[in-house]
Amino acid sequence: MYRINLVVKRIFDLVSSMILALILLPLWIALALWIKLDSKGPVLFKQGRRTKDGRIFNLYKFRSMVVNAEKMEAGLFNYENDPRVTRVGKILRNTSLDELPQLFNIIKGDMSVVGPRPCVSYELGDFDTLNKRYKKRFEVKAGLTGLAQVKGRNDISWDEKVGYDNQYVDNFRRI
């Protein structure tokens, strides 16, 4: 039954993300132009993230910060009124429109529509030495959205996110 669930989920991922990508194409073009007019640099930002079994892939987002922001000030983490976030980037982040290019990650098979959000490749340290609780979330593909986002997004601790991610893994395996 689990294998059938995986096939059905992959079909859903492909069909829904391709339809959304086509429908949203005019919006993507407008956002790309807006980003280019607002700040120098590429339209898309790519970053190494972890997905199923700890595999690293390039996650795509609309760029919402200045180029090389990770190498400045707070590094990986951003904070309220972070000067590295562009004017357009602030709007993209508040509306989650910066996440739209991840539909291509779903089409490629790196991600799923629903699953634990993919963490930055080096965020948790060495994957091989992660404890069982933190590693469990990597038993399924990373997702565009997941239970942790529904339950609190950035308002909950990393430990709470892992708990919700693991709850999703358990529930998916039971279906």
Average pLDDT score over residue span 39-58: 95
CA distance 20 to 32: 17
pLDDT at 175: 73
pLDDT at 58: 98
Asked if residue 117 has pLDDT above 90, the reply is yes
The token duo for 146 is 């997941």
Query: Between the ranges 67-76, 111-120, 127-136, 165-174, where is the mean pLDDT highest?
Result: 111-120
Nearest to 35 by CA among 86, 80, 77: 86
CA distance 46 to 41: 12
CA distance 45 to 35: 11
Return contacts of 19-26, CB within 8 angstroms, 24+ apart. Answer: 20/103, 21/103, 21/104, 21/107, 24/100, 24/103
Q: Where are the domains of the chain?
A: 2-174
Q: What is the pLDDT of residues 78-110, one digit of tens each?
A: 666 778 889 999 999 999 999 999 999 999 999
Which amino acid appears at position 138 of this protein? Answer: F
Average pLDDT score over residue span 51-59: 96
Asked if residue 45 has pLDDT above 90, the reply is yes
Is the four-CA dihedral 116, 31, 63, 73 of positive or negative sign? negative
Average pLDDT score over residue span 27-32: 97
CA distance 112 to 50: 13
Asked if residue 76 has pLDDT above 70, the reply is no
Q: What is the DSSP letter of 39?
A: S
CA distance 118 to 40: 27
Which amino acid appears at position 75 of this protein? Answer: G
Alpha carbon separation from 134 to 55, 81, 113, 161 (Å, rounded): 15, 31, 21, 10
